Amino acid sequence: MFALPLTTDVELRPLEPWRAEEFLAHLDRAREHIAPWVSPSFVATDVESARAVLQRYADRRARDAGIWGLWRHDTLVGGVMFVSFDVALGVCEVGCWLEPSAQGHGLVFRAVRHVVDWAVRERGIHRVEWRTKPDNVRSIALARRLGLRLDGTLREVYPGPSGRIDIQVWSVLADEWRAAFPTESGGSDAGQHAVE
C-alpha cells in the first residue's frame, strides 16, 4: 500500500472496502455537509452500505476508476475519485468530497491535481470532466482553480427532493491541463504514486 504526502500532515491513500467502518465514521461527520451535493448512493448509512460503495470503486479500479481518501493526522477527512474513466474515448469524470473540518487548506485541490495529472500524462486521457450542481459554489470555485471551463448546463437531468436537478459540466482538455500545470521533468509524480 502507498501513501502520497500532500502536506506535512495529509496523505492521499487508496480507499478500499476493508476501510468501510472508517469510511462510515467519516460519512457520519460529513453527511449533512455533503448530502446536498453527492449522489444519495454514495452517502452510506451503515457498514454494509459503506462497504458496498467502496467495493463498487474497488471493482472499477481495474478500469482505472478508483477512489482515494484524504487522511489528515491519520483521520479520513475526504477524498477524490474517478466517477467514470474511458481510455478508449479519452474521457473521464473526476469528483471529490470533504468534511467541514478539513476545508480551507487546499487539500482537495492538491488531490484532484494529482489524479488528473496521472489521468492526462500516464493514461492518455484527453478530456477531464467535472459535474456539479449550479449552486455548489465551492465546487465551481475549485473547478475554476483547476483551470476547467464551463461547457454548459444540463437542464433537469434527474429528480431531486425539490424537483428536477440541473447539472453544470466543466472540463479541461489535455493540452490545456499540461499548459496550466507543467512539470519540470516532463513526468508526473502522480503517475508514480497517486493511482497505483
Q: What is the pLDDT of residues 158-177, one digit of tens each?
A: 888 888 999 999 999 999 99
Predicted confidence band of residue 58 (pLDDT cuts 50, 70, 90): confident
- Extended strands (E) in 99-136: 127-132
- For domain 4-193, the CATH class is alpha beta
Cα–Cα distance for residue pair 115/25, rounded to 1 Å: 25
Residue 192 has pLDDT above 70, yes or no: no
pLDDT score, position 196 = 37
pLDDT score, position 61 = 77
pLDDT of 31-49, one tens digit each? Answer: 887 777 777 667 788 999 9
Predicted confidence band of residue 147 (pLDDT cuts 50, 70, 90): very high
pLDDT score, position 11 = 92
Domain boundary assignment for the chain: 4-193
Average pLDDT of the chain is: 87
The three cell numbers of residue 158 are 434527474
The three cell numbers of residue 2 are 502507498
The pTM is what? 0.85
Query: Residue 167 in contact with residue 157, Cβ under 8 Å?
Result: yes
What DSSP letter does each residue of 49-96 carry, written as one string?
Answer: HHHHHHHHHHHHHTTT--EEEEEETTEEEEEEEEEEEETTTTEEEEEE
Mean pLDDT of the region 63-70: 83
Residue 184 has pLDDT above 70, yes or no: no
